[in-house]
Amino acid sequence: MTHPSFTGVHPIVPTPFLDDGALDLASIERLVDYQVSAGVQGIAILGFMGEAHKLRGAERRSVIETTVQRAAGRITVWVGVRAFGTAGTIEQVQEAEALGADAVFVAPIAPGTPAVLDRHYREVAAACGIPLAIHDYPAEFGVRIPADLVATLANDGVTPYLKAEDPPVLVKQRRILEQAPGRIGIFGGLGGMWVLEELANGAAGVMTGLAFPEVLVDIVTRYRDGDREGAAAVFDRVLPLIRYEFQPGIGVALRKHVFERRGVFTTTTVRPPGEQADAGTIAEFEAVAARVGLDVARPGSIRL
């Protein structure tokens, strides 16, 4: 099956809630418009950062419907899929496809042996007509997917994309691209900590949750236009902010804080058991942003 070729910046985005914990659909609409205005090529919803594991089935459907309708073909819509088995995964993938998603990124299942994973992804791919990305994130899923298996599935046309979050990411990326040249598009994650080196090693783009999409767009655009020094300068400048924002446990809260300050989200509510960021952390975060030349309250790329 021939699929479209996705490249560029496809941010993983959080799911907004109201103060009482209810789903905030109006903020989802503003979030889509905000990402479009930043110049991204796509948006990835219902990933781990999107608190998908905290949503009811009807809420999950509402998030997909609202995002797809608001995107209206302006950007690619990816939907995160995670279930305990292949049947549940297929159900989620088919739902996303039926609601108009352009692609899905699919978590592995336990016990995570190569044979189980090979069968899992082949059966899921056979059950839908939109592109699949393997979501390779062992720190959260507890499953490590061998590079040669990723390459085999890509060469067979099963999973044409990879969301790569298995450190050392660059070593694995090179191995996969060497074994499946021209057959897989790799998108880096992990907050964007290796986006520059990933691009240099042949990544198709980036799919991560940094709440400053304009910076990711700036880095990728400069790099693709041949301004490698400029891309490196922006990356080097913003790296302290990437490091601070990507803290385990409070990263989602920090990203929601940025969107609330920019008028995109109504609140910064994180559903339990997620943590809210305390005042000291918020102050530090905003100070780091200012130090690298960014304003948490207003979009804007770094001036070199």
Instruction: Choose the CATH number for 8-235 among 3.40.50.300, 3.80.30.20, 3.20.20.70, 2.30.30.100.
Output: 3.20.20.70
Task: Look at residues 246, 251, 243, 241 and name the one whose alpha carbon lies nearest to residue 214.
Answer: 241
DSSP of 156-215: TTS--EEEE-SSSHHHHHHHHHHHSTTT-EEEE-GGGTTHHHHHHTT--EE----S-HHH
Q: Please list, in sequence order, all residues whose beta carbon lies within 8 angstroms of the beta carbon of residue 78, skipping any fewer than 6 positions away.
A: 10, 42, 43, 44, 45, 101, 102, 103, 104, 105, 133, 207
Q: Are 81 and 107 in contact (CB under 8 A)?
A: yes
Q: Please list, in sequence order, all residues whose beta carbon lies within 8 angstroms of the beta carbon of residue 97, skipping any fewer than 6 positions away.
A: 104, 128, 129, 130
Helices 25-38 & 213-224 angle (0-180, nearest 10):
30
Give me the tens of pLDDT residue by residue for the chain, a chain 304 residues long. Answer: 555 599 999 999 999 999 999 999 999 999 999 999 999 999 999 998 899 999 999 999 999 999 999 999 999 999 999 999 999 999 999 999 999 999 999 999 999 999 999 999 999 999 999 999 999 999 999 999 999 999 999 999 999 999 999 999 999 999 999 999 999 999 999 999 999 999 999 999 999 999 999 999 999 999 999 999 999 999 999 999 999 999 999 999 999 999 999 999 999 999 999 999 999 999 999 999 999 999 999 998 888 7
Which three-class secondary structure state does DSSP give residue 25? helix
Name the DSSP class of 145: P
Name the DSSP class of 53: G
- Determine the residue type at 42: G
* Distance separating alpha carbons of residues 19 and 201, to the nearest angstrom: 43
Task: Look at residues 186, 180, 110 and name the one whose alpha carbon lies nearest to residue 145.
Answer: 110
Burial class (CB in 10 A: 0-12, 13-18, 19+), 296: buried
* Distance separating alpha carbons of residues 95 and 58, to the nearest angstrom: 11
